[in-house]
Structure 1
Amino acid sequence: MEGIVRNSFTLNLTIMKLMGIYPLENHSRLYKVFGYALYIFSIIPGSVLGFLQLFFKGDITGVGYKDLSSVVVIFLSPKLCSMVFAADNVKKCIDYLDEGYFTIKNQNQEQIVTECVQICRRNSVIFLGGCTVSFITWSGTLLYRDDIKQLPLIAWLPFNSQDYSLLHYVLYCSHGFGVAYVAFAAGTVDPLIPGLICHASGQVQILKDNLQHLDDYIDRSDLVYEKIKECIDHYGAIINFVFKYERSFSVVILCQLLESAIVIGICCLQISKLEAYDINLIIMGNYLVFLLIQVYFYCYYGTALVEENNSLINAIYMNRWYEYKKESQKALIILMECSKKPLLITAGRVVDLSLETFTLILKRSYSLLAVLKNY
C-alpha cells in the first residue's frame, strides 16, 4: 500500500486482512478458503440459529436489549457475506486510488488530499474505538448473567446444548467469534466505505482546481489543449473509480441501509418500554446514536460527491475560456456535457446514497416502530 491508501486506511486494511475480507498482495486460494471458513464459523451458527429462534418465537416486539446482539449479527450477515465474496473487487477498487491516475500538482491540491486523509483516519479511529468498547462491554455482561454457561446469543436448538459439552463449547466460541467478527468488521469497513467516497469528492475538487486555473498551471498558452485533455482523462478516471466502487460495495451498502432501518425501529421500540433511570436505556440509546451516525456518514459523503460534480461546470466557466482556441473550447464543452450526468452512488441500484435517503430510512424506521407498537 502506498500513497493515499497507506495514509488513509492502513489500520482498516490490516484488520480486514486478518479477517479474510481483503486479499494479500500475492494471495492464494488458501487465503480465500481462510476467509470463507472464518465467516462460516463466526457468522453462520449465530445468524441461522438466532433467526430460527426469532421465527419460532413469532414475536419480534419481545426482542429485548439482551437479544440486540443477535439481531445485529442476523441482519449484518448478508453484508459481511458480500464483503467476503467480493474481496478481489474490493482490493481492485481500493488499490485504484494509488495506480497513478490521481496525481497532485501543487500545494493547494495536496491540502485537499491531506484533508481527505485526515477525515478517513479520524473516522476510522472513532468507529473502531467505539466498536472495540462495545465488544468489551458486551463481553463483560456475560460474566453477570444468571447462568454464565448460557450461550451468548439467542439460538434455537431442539435440545439443551449443555447436555453435550463439546457442541456447547463449539457454539459458545462461535457466538463469541461472531460478535467479535461483526464488531471489528463494522469498525473497519463502515469508515472505509464512506472514506473512499470522500476521496472521490476530493479528486473532483482537484479537477475543479485544475480547470479553474488552467492558465496558472501551464508555462505556454499553446499547452492549454493538452492540459484540458489531462483533465478529461482525470475525470474519466474518477468515473471509472466510481464504477469500480459500485461494483464492489453497492450490495454491501444496501444490506447496511436495510439493517439500519430495521434495527433503528427495534431500538426505538425497546427504548420506549424502558424506565427513565434504567441503565439499559443508556446502552440502547448509545447504540442508536452510533447507528444513526454510521448511516449518516454513508449518505453525507454520497451527497458531497454529487454536489462537487454538479459544481464542475461553474469551475470551467470561471477560467478564461473565451481566450482559448476553438479546439480547447470544444473540449471544455464536451467535459461540461459529461459532467451533467450525476455522479451517483447507489445502494444495490435501488436507492441513491444521499441525505434524502437518510431521511427516508428514518421515515421507514418510524413506520416500523408504529407497526411494532400496535402489533
Structure 2
Amino acid sequence: MSSLIQESLHINLRVLEFFLLYTPGEPTNFQKLRSSILFFALMFHVPVLSGINLIVGKHDNPMKLVDNSFGFVGLSCYIAKLWPLIGNRSKIKVCINYLDKPIVELRENQKGILQACSKICRRNSNIFLYYMIISVTGFVTKPFLFEERGFPVDVWLPTSLKDRLDVYWGFYIYVSIGVAYPVIASGVLDPLIPSLLCLATGHLKVLNDNLEHLDEYSSEENGSKDSNLYKNIQKCIKHHIEILNFVYNHQKCFSLMVFSQFLGSPMILCFTCWNVSMDCFFNFSFTVIMEQGSQRRLPLSGWYPFNTDKSPAFELVYIYQILTTWIGGMGNISMDTFISGIIMAISSQLSILNNALKNITKNNELVRCVFHYRIIIKFSDEVIYLFNTCLTTQFIVGVIIVCISMFQMSLVPVLSFQFVAMLLYQMCILLEIFLWCFYGNEVMLKSDQLTQAAYMSDWTKSPNHFKQNLLFFMTRTQFPLKLYASGYFTLSLETFKAIVKSSWSYFAVLNQVHSRQTQ
C-alpha cells in the first residue's frame, strides 16, 4: 500500500482488517469463509432476537420500546452497510487503492495539496472513531450500571437468564460484542467513504493547478514549448479520466452503504430525539405519552379501524404518527427553504445586473444587460407559475395557524410545555412566511434600483444610439419586478405585516367570543 492511502486511511483499514472485513492483499477462499462466519456469528443474532422481541414481547414502558426500536433499526442498518465489505471485497479493495496509482506526476506544491486532504481524512476518522467508541461504551454498560439486570438491547429468549449469573454474563458479553462489532466497524467505514472523495477532491485541485499554470509549467520543461504544451494537455485529460473512473468505481462500490445509511438515519434520529425528549435530565416529557388518569393519548387524534388503546397497537400507531409527522415536517422545511433560496437567487442576479449597468460603455454591453434582465423576468414568471399554489396556500393557511396557535397559547399556563410548543410552532410558521416576503421585498428594491444604476453609467461620452437604447431600457425598468401569489398576494414586507395584523384581528375575535362563553 503506497503512502497516500496508508497515511490517510491507516486507522480505518487497520480496524477493518482486525474485524476481518478487509485484507490488504488478494483474499483467499479461507479468508472469505472466515469473514463470513464471523460476520454472521457476531451481527445477526442481536437484530434477529431484538426483532422477535419487538413483535412478541410486552412493551408497557414507552422508553424501553424506543430503546429497542432504536437498537433494532440501527443494527439492521449496520448489517446492510457492512455486508458489501464481505460480498464485494475485491472491488472495494481496488477502489480504495485506486488513487495510489501513478496517475500524475506531482510537483512540490501539489504534494502539499494532497497532504492537506490527507490530514483532513485522518482528523475526521479519529474524531468519528473516538465518538463511536464512547457511544457504544455507554450503550453497552447502561443496563449494567443504571438498570436492573438486562442486556444492551432487549432480545427475545425462551427462558429468563437473570437468576443464572454464569449464563447471564456469558450471554451479556455475547450481546455486547454483537452491538460493539458493527458500531465500531461502521465508525471507521463511515469516514472512509467520504475520505476517498476528499482525496479525489485533492486530485481535482491538482488538475486545476496544472490547467491554470499550463503555459508556465510547459515553459519550465526541456524541449519545445508547443510540444510540452501538447503533452501536458494530454496528461491533464488522462488525469481527468482517471478521476472520473475512480468516482464511478466509488459510486458502484459504496452506493448500497450510503443508501442504507440514508434510509436508516431518519428513523434513528427520530428514536434518538424521542428518547432525549423523554429523559428526566431535561425535567419535562411529552404530554402526549403521559397518562391522563388511566388513558394514554396519541400525538394526533384520528379514527382507526382497530383499538389503539391497547399494546402493541398504541405503540405502533404512536411511532407511525411520529414518523409521518417528522417526514412531513422535514419536507415542508425543505420546500420552504428551497423557495426562499430561489427568490434569493433572483435577488442576487438583480444585484449582478445593477453592478453591470453601472459599468457599461458600449452598446453590445447594454444588449447583454437587456438579455440578462429578460432572463431574470422569465425565470421569475416560471417560479411563480410552478409555486403559485404553494405560496397562496401558505399565506392563507398561515393566517389561520397563527391565529389558532395564539388562541391555544392563551388557554394554557405560560411556560408550560403546551405553551412553549405552540410558541415554537408559531415562530416557525411566521419565519417561513417572513423569508418569502423578505427576499421578495429585496427583489422589488433591487429591480427598482436598475433605473438609477443605468443612469449612473458613463453615458455622457457615448454615441446617441447608445443613449437612446439606454433610455428605452430605463423606461422599462421604472416598473419594478414583483412576485405575486395568485396575482393578489405580493411577496413583500407589507404582505407579511398584513398577515400578522389579520392573524391578530381573528385571534381577538376568537378570544372575545371565548370570554363571553366562559362568563
Q: 1:173 to 1:34 in 2, by over 3 A?
A: farther
Aligned residue number for residue 36 of structure 1: 36
Aligned residue number for residue 507 of structure 2: none
Cα-to-partner distance string for 1:329-355 (whole Å, 9 max, x where unaligned): xxxxxxxxxxxxxxxxxxxxxxxxxxx
Aligned residues: 278
Q: 1:275 to 1:146 in 2, by over 3 A?
A: closer
8 A Cα contact 1:47 1:77, kept in partner: no
Aligned residue number for residue 136 of structure 2: 135
Cα-to-partner distance string for 1:104-133 (whole Å, 9 max, x where unaligned): 2x2221121011000000001101111112
Displacement after TM superposition at 1:25 (Å): 1.4
1:69-148 equivalent positions in 2, closer than 5 A: 69-104=71-106, 106-148=107-149
- Tell me, what secondary structure is at the counterpart of 2:97? helix
Aligned residue number for residue 18 of structure 2: 18
Displacement after TM superposition at 1:7 (Å): 0.8
Aligned residue number for residue 234 of structure 1: 239
Q: 1:112 to 1:35 in 2, by over 3 A?
A: same
Displacement after TM superposition at 1:237 (Å): 0.4
- Tell me, what secondary structure is at the counterpart of 1:25? coil
Displacement after TM superposition at 1:143 (Å): 2.5
Residues 1:243 and 2:265 are matched in the alignment: no
| Amino acid of the structure 2 residue aligned with 1:194 | P
Q: 1:242 to 1:80 in 2, by over 3 A?
A: same
User: Structure 1 stretches of 5 or more lacking a match?
Assistant: 281-375
Displacement after TM superposition at 1:164 (Å): 8.2
8 A Cα contact 2:54 2:68, kept in partner: no
Aligned residue number for residue 178 of structure 1: 178
Q: 1:167 to 1:247 in 2, by over 3 A?
A: farther
Q: 1:142 to 1:265 in 2, by over 3 A?
A: closer
Matches of 2:117 and 2:133 in 1, distance apart?
A: 24
Cα-to-partner distance string for 1:194-223 (whole Å, 9 max, x where unaligned): 100111111111111111111111232322
Aligned residue number for residue 438 of structure 2: none
Per the normalisation by structure 2, the TM-score is 0.50
8 A Cα contact 1:46 1:74, kept in partner: no
8 A Cα contact 1:8 1:117, kept in partner: yes
Matches of 1:76 and 1:278 in 2, distance apart?
A: 33
| Amino acid of the structure 2 residue aligned with 1:211 | L
1:1-375 equivalent positions in 2, closer than 5 A: 1-56=1-56, 63-65=65-67, 68-104=70-106, 106-148=107-149, 150-161=150-161, 171-218=171-218, 219=221, 220-277=225-282
Matches of 2:24 and 2:202 in 1, distance apart?
A: 27
8 A Cα contact 2:81 2:260, kept in partner: yes
Cα-to-partner distance string for 1:174-199 (whole Å, 9 max, x where unaligned): 31112211221122111111100111
| Amino acid of the structure 1 residue aligned with 2:96 | I
Cα-to-partner distance string for 1:236-287 (whole Å, 9 max, x where unaligned): 100110111112101011001111111111222223333453699xxxxxxx
| Amino acid of the structure 1 residue aligned with 2:66 | G
| Amino acid of the structure 1 residue aligned with 2:108 | Q
Matches of 1:82 and 1:156 in 2, distance apart?
A: 28
Q: 1:153 to 1:102 in 2, by over 3 A?
A: farther
User: Structure 2 stretches of 5 or more lacking a match?
Assistant: 286-519
Matches of 1:247 and 1:61 in 2, distance apart?
A: 40
Which of 64-73 and 205-214 deviates more?
64-73
Q: 1:197 to 1:19 in 2, by over 3 A?
A: same
| Amino acid of the structure 2 residue aligned with 1:29 | N
8 A Cα contact 1:89 1:248, kept in partner: yes
Q: Root-mean-square deviation (CA), in Å?
A: 2.7
Name which structure has the greater RCO, CA cutoff 8 Å, separation 6+: 1
Displacement after TM superposition at 1:26 (Å): 4.4
8 A Cα contact 1:2 1:98, kept in partner: yes
Q: 1:18 to 1:152 in 2, by over 3 A?
A: same
8 A Cα contact 2:36 2:86, kept in partner: yes
Which of 125-134 and 25-34 deviates more?
25-34
8 A Cα contact 1:72 1:263, kept in partner: yes
Q: 1:223 to 1:36 in 2, by over 3 A?
A: same
Q: 1:66 to 1:136 in 2, by over 3 A?
A: same
Matches of 1:117 and 1:279 in 2, distance apart?
A: 45
Matches of 1:102 and 1:127 in 2, distance apart?
A: 31
Identity %: 28
Q: 1:2 to 1:39 in 2, by over 3 A?
A: same
Matches of 1:163 and 1:32 in 2, distance apart?
A: 39
8 A Cα contact 1:45 1:174, kept in partner: no
Matches of 1:102 and 1:185 in 2, distance apart?
A: 33
- Tell me, what secondary structure is at the counterpart of 1:160? coil
